[in-house]
Amino acid sequence: MTSAGCVFCAIVAGDAPADVVLETEDLVGFLDRRPVLKGHVLVVPRQHVVTLPDLPAELRDTFLATAQRLCTAMIEGLGAQGSFVAVNNTVSQSVPHLHLHVVPRTKGDGLRGFFWPRHKYGAEESTEYADRLRAALDA
């Protein structure tokens, strides 16, 4: 089930470009186009649901398990010291399709509290980050 006009549904369908780092039967993970920090991944259900309370019960475990895998991939693939994981529901939710943020963290990276400065990838840099995360997920 997709929603017309939803950019994340378009990414899931392959109709919009994205640096995809993982795909499962139920979920897709891809780099955020405006990352808090480079390597910032969004995990979305293939099925269009708007908020976490809307997520079907049968997807809860795989949703969180995928976040766990990405947290590990950020350490192993990007050299991060840890990660920040968050979900917005309605307020501050820039796209009305459930998405879980997994952001690589290192001490002194400049991320403070809920102030999320945004960064841009250089030419081909997003492809490199996506490749590194895919390799760590496949390991």
Please return the burial class of 115, using the count of CB atoms within 10 Å of its CB with bins 0-12, 13-18 and 19+.
exposed
Report pLDDT for 118. Answer: 74
Report pLDDT for 111. Answer: 81
Helix (DSSP H) and strand (DSSP E) numbers for the chain: 3, 5
State pLDDT tens for residues 15-51: 999 999 999 999 999 999 999 999 999 999 999 999 9
Lowest mean pLDDT among 7-11, 27-31, 45-49, 124-128: 124-128
Report pLDDT for 116. Answer: 63
Structural domain boundaries of the chain? 7-138
- CATH among 1.10.510.10, 3.90.550.10, 3.30.428.10, 3.40.800.20 for 7-138: 3.30.428.10
Report pLDDT for 61. Answer: 97
Active-site residue, from 97, 99, 101, 119: 99
Could you tell me which residues come within 8 angstroms of residue 56 by beta carbon, excluding any fewer than 6 positions away?
A: 47, 49
Place of tokens 């390991």: 139
Report pLDDT for 72. Answer: 97
Query: What is the per-residue burial (b if ≥16 Cβ within 10 Å, else e) of 39-59?
Result: bbbbbbbbbbbbeeeebeeeb
Report pLDDT for 71. Answer: 97
State pLDDT tens for residues 81-114: 999 999 999 988 999 999 999 999 999 998 876 6
Give alpha helix (H) positions in 14-124: 57-78
99 is catalytic: yes
What integer is the mean pLDDT of 126-138?
93
